[in-house]
Amino acid sequence: MIIFLLILFVILAFLSIMLIKEMKVRVLATVLSFAMVALSLVLLTGNAHEHWGMKVKTTTEKSQIYSAQDQNTYGVLAYQQLGTSGKEKVFVYKNKQDAKDTTVKKPDLQTTTKIQDIAGNQAFEQTTTKEYVYENGFYQFLFGIAGNNHDVKSKTVIYQVPETWIAMSTADGAKLKAALAQKMGDAEFISWIQQNKQMAAEDPDAAARDAVATYKNILANS
């Protein structure tokens, strides 16, 4: 609506200059029309850049995720670091237990990702989204033509990983694979693998926690 008002006031200013003969009335009508044009531009700019007439709405969604490598006794949340800072990551997991393909979650410029340790044996993806929405119907009617309702201000995705899972970068994955290959001739390590498999049949969570602790220790010392 604000766009149409802006156009209307520009037309009124033009008509005031061209058609009104009496000087005082013409000047008054022209000044008022241009004042409304200026006000419309201020409102339009304020909505576009400062989100005038809008408020921030926060929503949180949480869903269970499943291991990218379901052949293991423990869960794996794999990720690839992006850029030189490594602050943002591409995460790989399954969104359903029986999914054939993995989900590759890439962040955008408005998204921040975190990994959080939690208790239990289930992993979750928790997404908190802050978006701009109009405060009421009047503001939406006035500015809605801009199409900025529900524009995302920021998004935070927290991957909640239990102690039966390991969150591991692709670099750490390659490092762990190389370290395990060297241990395949170690009788003590082979014995641990067999014991862990037996434990998995009786207490899967205990076996998973044991495996995660062992692999984290191998990574830290390799």
pLDDT tens sequence across 96-126: 988 888 999 887 888 889 999 999 999 999 9
Burial class (CB in 10 A: 0-12, 13-18, 19+), 53: buried
CA dist., res. 6 & res. 222, Å (int): 67
Residues 75 and 38 placed together within one structural domain of the fold: no
Domain count, the chain: 3
The pLDDT of residue 8: 86
The pLDDT of residue 13: 84
In sign, the C-alpha dihedral spanning 75, 176, 180, 104 is positive
**Average pLDDT of span 26-47:** 90
CA dist., res. 147 & res. 160, Å (int): 34
Residues 157 and 179 placed together within one structural domain of the fold: no
pLDDT tops 90 at residue 211: yes
CA dist., res. 69 & res. 76, Å (int): 6
What percent of the chain stands above pLDDT 90?
54
Residues 61 and 118 placed together within one structural domain of the fold: yes
Residues 28 and 65 placed together within one structural domain of the fold: no
Residues 132 and 38 placed together within one structural domain of the fold: no
pTM, 2 dp? 0.81
**CA dist list (Å): 110 to 53, 66, 153:** 22, 25, 7
Q: Which of 167, 192, 210 is the last residue of a domain?
A: 167
Reference 117, options 83, 154, 163; nearest CA is 163
Residues 152 and 94 placed together within one structural domain of the fold: yes
Amino acid code (one letter) for 116? Q
The CA R_g of the chain, rounded to the nearest whole Å, is: 30
- Model pLDDT for residues 52-95, shown as the tens digit of each residue: 999 999 999 999 999 988 777 899 999 998 766 656 789 999 99
Residues 114 and 125 placed together within one structural domain of the fold: yes
The pLDDT of residue 84: 62
Q: How confident is the model at residue 204 (pLDDT cuts 50, 70, 90)?
A: very high
**Average pLDDT of span 9-28:** 87
Q: Which long-range contacts (CB under 8 A, 24 or more apart) does 118-122 make?
A: 118/160, 118/161, 118/162, 119/162, 119/163, 120/162, 120/164, 121/162, 121/164, 121/205, 121/208, 122/64, 122/162
Residue 188's domain comprises 170-220
Amino acid code (one letter) for 154? S
Reference 75, options 15, 12, 123, 34; nearest CA is 123
**Average pLDDT of span 178-192:** 90
| Residue 64 in tokens | 């269970």
- Phi (first) and psi of residue 102, to 5 degrees: -85, 155
Residues 81 and 13 placed together within one structural domain of the fold: no
Residues 46 and 60 placed together within one structural domain of the fold: no
DSSP annotation of 144 reads G
The pLDDT of residue 85: 61
